[in-house]
Structure 1
């Protein structure tokens, strides 16, 4: 069962019926919808992604997003722009738009720092760049570990670390105990890896952040996580528009003529149709943009509902083709994409 409070919008709730932890608050401008996490906190279902956002542009993007109504910012050490993300956050705190407690901030631990004794120092480094005392969520970015001396993306297996992500998880739990993060979670973990963490953890993961878009729609993994009270956060929700034309990457659904036509029917864009559809699956989405008009467009998705035939078409778009396959590491012992989900 889920709770809907003060909701007057027609977003499609068909998939929420099996989402026990849903607590949908008012989904109006300036008040983003939220999902309840298993640690008692809430995560806005729409966040601003910052991967590949240039440092000289992401500061303004964060400011624009918060002004529009975003209350969820997703960042990571690997992105190399956390200092500017922090500057944007503090600018909006300083001008009174938000308080620190009003915004949900996520960061992630990169693969070179999986040793237990490196986890806390790396979170402290991110906190220093963000100029925050804590983040709301800290994730293991990938289950695969790399040697601390290797490049962030090593050229071959000589850069692999044999550190077990269960050891890494112990370091993540220490971050919670120290008050450096409210919650901890996973990213790019498959079902077997999630289950292994659950079987060995003292602090339960609250989310699993994975690629989710109509072309890569991992409904089995979403269902698996929901059954274990873990929220799925979907990255690349628009289908990796930065990767268009790369071999093996399908045409983003936002360029599908049928989806464009759906948008016209609802007086919306294809982007808004896709984001509305994904949110209706009961997940969180974090579209990336540094363009103010697109940031506004991505946020304006809660005032319409797709009909059954439209949902069925978007369901049928699943090609199981990733924008972020990372196949160069498929021989790593903890590579996550060698099983179905």
Structure 2
């Protein structure tokens, strides 16, 4: 079983494993498939699991945790680091604590380790399909929402709070009103979308970045094969006796960020953890830095190309 390194976060008392397993699958997997995959991941050494209300994977994750404890795969819940997210339909001051409690109920847990604001916007109602009507998408009341997130910490519902898909501009808004600063900003980050400016900003502010779609989220509605079929990564992988995925993940790790990778394939789960006992050379890093950049995940691709959404997507 692999041992995964941990990082200390600025405003969260519990260290976080630098590699987590994501549970957002497309098309959505059934409960048993997700649960079985999570149990296999625990056996492989994963201790950080990333979910969200919007993914529909909180319940199978909760069941998998209970099963892992019953089987003795982990001695206590405290060995696991669980991240979930506030969905945009609940992004209002008085709905945040109830939304967090609902996620805890889904997970069958007393607390979560990291609670993130999923998107920097509010949806005025639940949505059943996408894209959505323009009038449903609203600006986020950053002050009110962050007060609600901080209340979740004060009530002991979560150990830490953070954000997801936030630009430098949106992070500045949070920092201007925060008593507890965001510990995490979870964003798309990979060799084809390197986010240098955002990385520098977050490092200066003490906000740790977690990379999602570190392999480009191939075979999903929002991702493509631009990472996995990169000639640069393939060339490095061949010379190293590694896979392109391992080279991409190692590159992400060397940027000083954590990452969430999603695979329900047992062998690939193990391969994704085999990135700690080697490093990329300066020449290899230079080659990767020259890969043409293109953002893969946009809010507009999900909610629709509304003016406000396009403005959010354009922010760095």
What TM-score, normalized to structure 1?
0.85
Q: Which deviates further from its counterpart, 257-266 or 307-316?
A: 257-266
Residue 37 of structure 2 corresponds to residue 61 of structure 1: yes
Q: Secondary structure at 1:242's aligned position in 2? A: coil
1:296 to 252, 262, 270: 270
Secondary structure of 1:255's aligned partner: coil
Deviation digits for residues 184-222 of structure 1 (CA, Å, limit 9, x no counterpart): 001011101101111111111100001001111101101
C-alpha deviations, 1:74-125, integer Å up to 9, x for none? Answer: 0000001211011111211121221211110000011111111111111111
Of stretches 317-326 and 274-283 in structure 1, the one that deviates more from structure 2 is 317-326
Q: Which 5+ residue runs of structure 2 have no aligned equivalent?
A: none
**Deviation at 1:153?**
4.3
Give secondary structure in 2 for the equivalent of 1:105: strand
1:34 is matched with which residue? 6
Indicate whether 1:280 and 2:254 are aligned: yes
Query: What displacement does 1:148 show?
Result: 2.2
1:114-173: per-residue Cα shift (whole Å, max 9, x none)?
111111111111111111000000000001101125447452212123551321111111
Counterpart for residue 87 of structure 1? 63
The question of whether the paired residues in 2 share the 8 Å contact of 1:104 and 1:136 is answered with: yes
Cα distance between partner residues in 1 of 2:44 and 2:54: 26
Query: Offset of 1:307 from its aligned partner?
Result: 1.1
* CA displacement at 1:326 relative to structure 2: 2.5
How many angstroms apart in 1 are the aligned matches of 2:287 and 2:234? 12
Secondary structure at 1:208 match in 2: strand
Distance in 1 (alpha carbons) for counterparts of 2:24 and 2:224: 20
After superposition, the C-alpha distances for 1:33-61 in whole angstroms (9 at most, x for unaligned) are 11110123211110001112513311111
State the distance in 1 between where 2:88 and 2:311 align: 12
The answer to whether 1:75 aligns with 2:58 is: no
Kindly indicate whether the alpha-carbon contact (under 8 Å) linking 2:300 and 2:310 is maintained by their aligned counterparts in 1.
no
Q: Is the 8 A contact 2:134 2:306 kept in 1?
A: no
Once the two structures are overlaid, the 10-residue window that deviates more, 53-62 or 134-143, is 53-62
Q: Runs of 4+ in structure 1 displaced over 6 angstroms? A: none
CA contact (8 A) 1:144 1:332 kept: no
CA contact (8 A) 2:299 2:309 kept: no
Aligned residues: 309
List gaps (5 residues or longer) in structure 1: 1-28
What SS does the aligned partner of 1:322 have? coil
| TM-score, length of structure 2 as denominator length | 0.92
Deviations 1:218-245 (A, max 9, x none): 011011001110000111000121248x
* Alpha-carbon distance between aligned partners in 2 of 1:181 and 1:97, rounded to the nearest angstrom: 23
1:124 and 2:101 equivalent? yes
Change (3 A) 1:325 1:319: farther
Report the Cα distance in structure 1 between the residues aligned to 2:292 and 2:97, rounded to whole angstroms: 38
Please, what is the CA RMSD of the aligned residues?
Answer: 2.0
